[in-house]
Amino acid sequence: MSKVALVTGANRGIGFAIACELAKRGLRVLAGVRSSERAAEAAANFTKAGVSVMPVVLDVADAATIPEVLARAAVASAPIDVLVNNAAIMIDGPGGFDASLFEMTDDVLRRTWETNVLGPAATMRALVPGMIARGYGRVVNLSSRAGQMSGMWRGFPAYRASKAALNALTRIAAAEVETSGADVKINVCSPGWVRTEMGGTEAERSPGQGAETPVWLATLDRDGPNGGFFEDKKPLAW
């Protein structure tokens, strides 16, 4: 029986590339998209890409709806074995590199954390206990070098802090599953600098290249890592 994967924010960018690659590897893939209009558009784009991927309307900023949406998706397909928390926003503004923490509004901080932190926390909460109970699961959280505490610097305050928080959540969740004895692995990664709406046109990598490490972590063998931070399939400093 093929594994079932959910990729959030999969209608474009790195999420789209991850969903396509997992489908090519034989997983049954659910693509989280935040509205029904985007679901229809995404379905057409997956067909055009030659893969079978099913869109599921899932707004990760609406954490209260996540348990019900995922429970329904699991009934329609099968329990979800692989979760890729890819959806994120970076709304620190066009001058993000110079954006000041002292000028940041609560609205920017709150909206960033709802999508980038509370969303992944809610999807993990909804899915990881079932993975532990069934004895298998893979969770991949998409973070960034921007979230490295060892390289923390000014700029993009809401986004950077949200990714550092996601890194912390990953470590905590991984430590919890470690003691369960189940073959469940929770890791976080940086995709590198990727040509997407978020990364911009100057970025060095294609979405397919950005998807390589997340796909590797989503398909790890039993002897693979748990609780790590990776880029290019190699450990990255926290």
For residue 138, the minimal CB distance to ligand NAP (Å) is 17
Identify the helix (H) or strand (E) that includes residue 202.
Answer: none
What DSSP string runs through 17-80? HHHHHHHHTT-EEEEEESSHHHHHHHHHHHHHTT--EEEEE--TT-GGGHHHHHHHHHHHS---
Q: Does residue 8 bind ligand NAP (CB under 6 A)?
A: yes
Q: Does residue 112 bind ligand NAP (CB under 6 A)?
A: no
State the angle between helix axes of 157-178 and 119-134 in degrees (0 to 180), rounded to the nearest 10: 10
For residue 130, the minimal CB distance to ligand NAP (Å) is 21
Amino acid identity, residue 214?
A: P
DSSP alpha helix (H) spans, 89-206: 106-113, 119-134, 157-178
For residue 40, the minimal CB distance to ligand NAP (Å) is 13
Q: Does residue 69 bind ligand NAP (CB under 6 A)?
A: no
Collect all residues with Cβ–Cβ distance below 8 Å to 53 and sequence separation of at least 6.
10, 19, 20, 23, 29, 30, 31, 42, 43, 46
For residue 76, the minimal CB distance to ligand NAP (Å) is 19
Amino acid identity, residue 194?
A: V
Catalytic residue among 159, 166, 183, 214, which? 159
Q: Does residue 142 bind ligand NAP (CB under 6 A)?
A: yes
Stretch that binds ligand NAP, among 13-21, 48-56, 72-80, 97-105 (CB under 6 A): 13-21
Query: 89, 121, 132, 188: which one contacts ligand NAP (CB under 6 A)?
Result: 89
Q: Which amino acids are annotated catalytic? A: 159
Residues that bind ligand NAP (CB under 6 A): 8-9, 11-15, 32, 34, 38, 59-61, 86-89, 115, 142, 144, 190-191, 193-194, 196-199, 203
